Amino acid sequence: MDSSKQSIAKVTLALLLGLQVLTVGIILLVSHYWGESAYLKHVSGLMRTVATESVQSVESLLVPAERLANTTRALMESRVIPREANTELERYFFEQINENNNFTGMYFGWVNGDFLQVAHANKLHPDNPFYTKFITTKNGNKTSIFIGRGDDFEMLASHPEPNDTYDPRDRPWFESLIKGKLQWTNPYLFFTSQIPGITVSIPVSSDSGEPIGVLGIDIEISNLSYYLSKNQLSANSSAFIANTDFRMVAHTDIDSLTLAQLNGDSDFRLIKVDELRSQVIEQALEELRASGQDFVSTTIRDVDFDIDNKPYHAVFHSYRKSGLGWTVVVTAPESDFIGDIRAAQYWKITIAIAFSLLITLGAFFLALRFLRPVSELQESVLRDSLTGLYNRRALASLGDEMTKESHRKGHSVCVAMIDIDHFKKINDTYGHPIGDEVLVSISQRMLRVSQNSDMLVRYGGEEFALILFDADLAVATAACERIRKTVSGNEVLTDQGLITVTISVGVVEVSGDDNYILQSLSLADQALYNSKRQGRNRVSTQHDVCIL
């Protein structure tokens, strides 16, 4: 070959080499960034779901207290229950807080300073499951009596408290008498238990319309923090609730609710948001203000920001009812979700380019390029776009292999079919967008109570499949029962209000000789049909199918 042909060959080889490197690089980079964008959109949806679930938790905590306050006022004003501080009224209060553990205490303060309170045990009264405080005034003499009660209302202790200085008229919740309507207090220190909480209070009137006093129901703030901690999204994510004055109401880390006492109990306050000294929270609020959006709003808001070149995302969702203006804020760094994926993708690009060079130089470029294994199926392909659960394709591609592997290790495997009861009626009544909200909420509830090793799949429409690994039929049935109770235990909060949702479940054990999940789904579907026939909102097994 003459020198000119050699030169042309060298140039051609260099061009082919450069073109191959460029082509491979562009394809992988585009795939990387498109896949990352789709995954981040999915993460944003999950954060919105967490915020919505947190608002639902707040509402499920507060609404029952409001209902009880309104009902009790009506009963007192109509004299169905007494208006005087006696044992009958005490028992009524006892029964209400005994039935709902979210209520710390229930009480009534009269305009003359008399007081009746029934409450759960606390650090001041730890020896009795419940305690009662009676304060009465006769002829200018004040009498305060403590009574300890058991779980069945039996008296365990009784003694006077001569040094009791409590006056209900000085407490924040008594202000509803002036306003003449139901109200929620700002967080404050409960006088007796010395713990932070909130109170719903409502005035009660006589037959002539004159005020008799104020009814109050206490809820501990720690309950709200517990709800937030259950919904924590990732290792470095955080969530909190704050009111319109940016005072903390709840936090995923309850220790962050540093308490401050300025001038005594009446000046008790929770720490302000800016006193957390969290750079992430401060930056999220700054981005929200810069975008022209309010902290308390009727819409769900998203903001993105960077801290030290590290991307973060935040979601704001407000609760605006009964005069309250509380906002749930969820923040998380992108790296919690895509850090490992991004590092793996960069490494993958580097390796791909290096191998492309070696293949081209070895003259096997074309053959090896076509023999190169297809890249791993992107996670987004295996996920349902609405709920974020695995889809039917994932069940077909992953379920069988995981079942075979579990059987090889000698572990039991069960499969369940789950169907939302009367879902068509929900769609017909409220519309498909509300139906989608129900699907997302129910999916998250089922996912939270499932084991990490289980595989929850949106099988189609309102139907789900659940593979339970290392679980025999008894264990799987108990797990499905937990899922059913979790779904039916609380109504689903949607844009159209609260909706009651239940599920029916059919569960079967996959035979040790049967490594194919799809062959077991038919029997699980028959068990599901049995649950439907038996009235829905129940779990049936393969044994129930046998007796049909």
Question: Which residue, chain included where needed, has tokens 């949702």?
Answer: 501
Query: Which tokens is 357 given?
Result: 């060079």
The upper half-sphere exposure of residue 347, i.e. CA atoms within 13 Å in the direction of its Cβ, equals 6
- Dist. CA 12–CA 103, nearest whole Å: 80
In contact, 282 and 290? CB cutoff 8 Å: no
Phi and psi dihedrals of 166, rounded to 5?
Answer: -65, 135
| Per-residue exposure over 441-450, b if at least 16 CB sit within 10 Å of its own CB, e if not | bbbbbbeeeb
Query: Which tokens is 108 given?
Result: 């009534």
Name every residue whose Cβ is closer than 8 Å to that of residue 422 and which is 6 or more positions away in sequence. Answer: 536
Return the H-helix or E-strand segment holding 353: helix 335-361
Query: Which tokens is 88 given?
Result: 């009958």
Is 210 noted as a catalytic residue in this protein? no
Beta carbons within 10 angstroms of residue 272's beta carbon: 14
- Dist. CA 517–CA 403, nearest whole Å: 7
Torsion of CA 228, 233, 235, 238, to 10 degrees: -50
Q: Which of 90, 287, 334, 462 is catalytic?
A: 462
**Angstrom distances, CA of residue 287 to CA of 295, 304, 493, 512:** 11, 8, 28, 56
**Angstrom distances, CA of residue 385 to CA of 42, 43, 302:** 8, 11, 19
Query: Over the Cα atoms of the chain, what is R_g?
Result: 31
Could you give the residue numbers annotated as active site? 462
